Amino acid sequence: MSAPPAAVRQSERPGLKALEQFLFHEARLLDEQRWEEWNALYLEDGEYWVPATPGQPDPKNHVSLIYETGLLRAVRIKRYKHPSAFSLQPKPRSVHLVSNVTLDDFDGSNGECIVTSRFIMLQYRREKQDVFAGSYTHKLIVRGNEFKIASKRVDLLNCDAPLENILIYL
C-alpha cells in the first residue's frame, strides 16, 4: 500500500515534490482500484470534470464527457463494486502516468493551489487496450496538513473526436 503524501501547511507555498507525490498517490489509488480512498481525496463538494471540447469554459452550461460531484462519484463507485456491473466484467485495469507537474498559482490565505500536469492512461479490458492522454488541472486546498481536491479537470487531447468507452476514472 502506498502512503499519503507528506504534511503541508495552508499558509506556506507547497513544494513541487509534495504536489508530485500527491498526484502520484492519486494515480496509484486509481490503478489499484482503491475507489473509496481515492474519493476521500476530494472535498465533499469536489468536482471531477472531463470537457467535451478544447477550451470548454465550464461544465454547467455546456455538454461534458463527464461531470461528477460527490453524489455522482459515490454512485459510480458503488457501481464499480457491484458484482453484476456487466460493463466492468472482467474488471478493467489501468496504468496512469503523470508528468510535467507545475504549480501555476498559490493563495496562502486559503491554501488554494492550481496544479497542472500531463498524463497518459492505459485502460485494458477484454484483450483490448485503449490509450487516453491529455492534461490535468487540479485545484487543491490545504485542509489540516494535507491536500484535498476541490476540482479536477481532465482535458483529453482528442476530447472532440470519437472516443472509446472510458470505463474508469482518468
For residue 1, the model assigns a pLDDT of 47
Q: How confident is the model at residue 91 (pLDDT cuts 50, 70, 90)?
A: confident
Q: Which three cell numbers stand for residue 100?
A: 510535467
pLDDT score, position 28:
98
With 0-12 / 13-18 / 19 or more C-beta atoms within 10 angstroms meaning exposed / middle / buried, residue 140 is: buried
Q: If you average pLDDT over every residue of the chain, what do you get?
A: 91
| Residue 115 contacts residue 106 (beta carbons within 8 Å) | no
> Given a cut of 70, is residue 5 above it in pLDDT?
no
Domains of the chain, each with CATH number or no CATH: 16-156 (3.10.450.50)
Q: Which amino acid, 130?
A: D
Is 123's pLDDT higher than 60?
Answer: yes
- Region for 132 from its dihedrals, namely left if φ exceeds 0, alpha if ψ lies in -120 to 50, beta otherwise: beta
pLDDT in tens, 9-38: 667 889 999 999 999 999 999 999 999 999
Instruction: Please indicate, yes or no, whether the overall pTM of this predicted structure exceeds 0.85.
Output: yes
For residue 48, name the pLDDT band (cuts at 50, 70, 90).
Answer: very high
Top pLDDT among 170 and 30 is at 30
Asked if 98 contacts 119 with a C-beta cutoff of 8 angstroms, the reply is: yes
Q: What is the pLDDT of residue 4?
A: 54
